[in-house]
Amino acid sequence: MSKKTKQELENNKLSKRLRHAVGDAINDFNMIEPGDKIMVCLSGGKDSYALLDILRQLQASAPIDFELVAVNLDQKQPGFPEEVLPTYLESIGVPYKIVEEDTYSTVKRVLDEGKTTCSLCSRLRRGILYRTAKELGCTKIALGHHRDDILATMFLNMFYGGKLKAMPPKLVSDNGEHIVIRPLAYVKEKDLIKYAELKQFPIIPCNLCGSQPNLQRQVIGDMLRDWDKRFPGRIESMFSALQNVVPSHLADTELFDFAGLERGQSLKHGGDLAFDSEKMPERFSDGSEEDESEIKIAPQKAERKVINILANKPKTCGA
């Protein structure tokens, strides 16, 4: 096998793996429904480019119809190349809207020199995006956070916030008006890096937040990457833990009735066994050889019909 052919096979496996991971997340959490108009938040980074690209692939083949509109928030960051995103979006034929709001000056004016800008910048950006989604009549807001972002958020909350909390793949906005989805929830960041190189997305670096020294999220990210190199499978196991929560073996009295425990009571997850035997989660294996028809969908409530986003569009008569 030639080097070129081998690389083409690897690229196909990567594309299929990402498509499956996104499709599984959409199915598991019922992220996309017939008739949805999805606002894809596009920052110019590798994650949001990949999100839009994969959603477009699914839009072309899925058995349901949904719309996509790309939205970029131009925060008037000095040196931001304003022409890059419109040029790219027009070249691929995606409807888009560029929202211009000078949040950069606001953040710099309000915060003292040396303070990290992420928290304030995020709040300002979120409010603008919610408003834009309402103006565009969008039913869902898609963000480009991936598996590693979700785990990093969990550790940030544990280490600095005193909460066992991460980023949910699907949630309702604070004002209750919007559904926010994260279709990349099952996707590894290292796969997104490879995919961005493969697709040659016109990446726009963020000099506002990513370059800040001593950024807590960066420190956590470095920790996770180090673990991934030194302890293969640890990241997969940690993410699997987010989907296997055992309230009776934690210590939150709001989630479990510890005060009402009685002798002889049977617990759903067993009694005093503190550590379960090691078992590697299967969801995050490459699965590159898996046929799409074999992809398993988590059981849903009977009253809600969920359509497999990875299935193909039905053939029209005479086609």
pLDDT tens for each residue of 31-75: 999 999 999 999 999 999 999 999 999 999 999 999 999 999 888
Residue 103 and residue 124: Cα distance in Å, rounded?
A: 7
303 has a pLDDT exceeding 70 = no
3-state DSSP assignment of residue 2: coil
Rounded Cα–Cα distance for residues 37 and 31 (Å): 12
Q: What digits encode the pLDDT tens for the residues 130-143?
A: 999 999 999 999 99
Point out the annotated binding site.
Answer: 118, 121, 209
- Cα–Cα distance, 30 to 16 (Å, whole number): 20
What is the reported pLDDT for 21?
97
**What are the binding residues for [4Fe-4S] cluster?**
118, 121, 209
pLDDT of res. 297: 35
Q: Which two tokens stand for residue 315?
A: 């053939």
Instruction: Give the dihedral of Cα atoms 160, 161, 167, 171; nearest 10 deg.
Output: -160
What digits encode the pLDDT tens for the residues 217-229? Answer: 889 999 999 999 9
CB of 43 closer than 8 Å to CB of 206: yes
H/E stretch holding 167: none
DSSP 66-128: -EEEEEEEE---TT--TTHHHHHHHHHT--EEEEE--HHHHHHHHSPTTS--HHHHHHHHHHH
Give the chain's mean pLDDT. Answer: 84
CA atoms within 13 A on the CB side of 5: 2
